[in-house]
Structure 1
Amino acid sequence: MLAKPQQSQQQQQQQQQQQQQHQQQQQQQQQQQQQQQQQQQQQQQQQQNRGIRSGNQVELHMAYQDAWRICHPDFKRPFTSLEDACERLLPYHVVADYEAEEDDRILDSDTTGQMPSRSQQWDHNIAAKVAEFTATFEKQALAFNIISRKRALGEFRSEERLMIEQALLQEEKRAALEIRAEIESREKAGREAHEAKLRMAAMVQAEQARAESLARGPIRASALGSQGNDAIGHDLGEQEQGGNADEMINGWGNNNQRDEKEPSEDFLNDEETENGETGMQDGWREVGEFDLNTR
């Protein structure tokens, strides 16, 4: 009975020892990994420093060449080509862009001593711009895909609905204007036709009135002519009182026969002619030279 508990205690101790050993091994492995990471970081930093130094050396060499060209300008020899002009004028542009105060401010703001060169800053800025444009394009592509899916499902944006409604409204306005113009043109044509009919009726009435006036003109002229002849005969009778009475009788009889052969066209003027004849007879009676009753 006592042997079994002792064996169990020994087993527990062995397990604990194994666990401790395993933990120690894990700690050692972690330490080794940390050391390796530190070594890698140090190597990377060294490589970066070397690259920065090599870049700085190249930039220093180029700056020295630019300064030497500026201090010893070749202004006597003309430009032979476009490349020659660029090589000889480019140093002046580099110096014009250079600002010592800006470099001093950058150096003062840097506390690590690992200041990137201008080319590195340029590359970093370009990479940032590219990343920004890429993110913007991805957002636009995502929005386009969402809109395409909604449109495939039959949905539209509020802007598109508004545009469609505006287009329909403009179409309705245009149709209403066309109908109104057509109605106005028809009304105008109707008014013009009515006015033309009125003008034609007025012209017809005027022609009728003119024809009637022309028809009445000869009747009045004949009546006036007969009255004129009677007056002329009366004057001749007064002038020729000592003439032959038979000739005057024959002349008066001829006039009566002529009047009977040519009756007046206007029966209304017959009274005037009759009145004229009686007047003439009264004149003859007053003269005393001729009287029908004596016959």
Structure 2
Amino acid sequence: MAEQLLQVENLKKWFPTKDASVLSKDKSYVKAIDVISFFINKGETLGLVGESGCGKSTTGRAVLRLIEATEGRVLFENQDIGNLSSRSLKKKRKDMQIVFQDPYASLNPRLKVKQIIEEPMTIHLKLSKKEREERVKQIMQDVGLNVHYMDRYPHEFSGGQRQRIGIARALAVHPKLIIMDEPVSALDVSVQAQVLNLIQDLQVKYDLTYLFITHNLSVVKHISNRIAVMYLGKIVEVADRDAFFENPKHPYSQALISAIPEPNPKLKRERVILKGDIPSPIDPPAGCRFHTRCPVAIESCMTVEPELVVTEEGHQVACHLANR
């Protein structure tokens, strides 16, 4: 049986939008994450997909405790990181790293590449200056960067090279888990393929576990072992990659897969067109949150929220029709 590295249990993150009066109990919240649970096995990649604004990036940040969860638990190696003191959390940081979406904004423009990659080592690892420099050189080679570029600044690099610097920074402290927050969405298609292949090669070489956040199903199909689909703060389906693409059970997943471009013009895929706009996360609809756009919604979808239940081995779905 696979060893679970990360367990997320009933995680919730609500952001207040305005302060009510002292005597009033009425407050408005953005329900970015509204009670979700999932796990990641050691050495695997879990792809977290969904439309913009569904809560994917917030989930990644809450898992790392970059933002504090409203409720729920995050267990890393069976340790609840929500209960860790500041000092204990700092020690645990080296095991959990993140690669941000925007390679232009996530690197300090005042630091040279060597300093950017070396900084986490200075904080977390007891290495001499010479050892740090040797490790910087090794990591730069591993991510496909010329070691002669270590004294350059971020603005002297292309987008793909900057993202490689971000990946190198994450690797610097020997992490066990890396949150990949849309790491290729800002890159050209040709560069995307190079960076995706690099991410897979590094996973094998460094024995890494990934939570890969993206809205691109073609990317997630290429890189993931399992896939979790989010909609409006909820996880609506979790399945192994092959099972997900061959037999998606949730209507939202079916619509997402139908929108994947087909490279063969002779093959035609039946499109599932979703009507209407995504509801506001401040006031999500009652029942199933997808029922306002669902082409097969029934009466119970409007009043009863479906639970995420196992329909077959390794496949979980939150849908009244799929659960019958």
Do they fold alike, i.e. is TM over 0.5? no
Higher relative contact order (CA 8 A, sep 6+): 2
The structure richer in strand per residue is 2
In which range does the TM-score fall when normalised by the shorter chain? under 0.3
More helix by share: 1
CA radius of gyration, larger in = 1
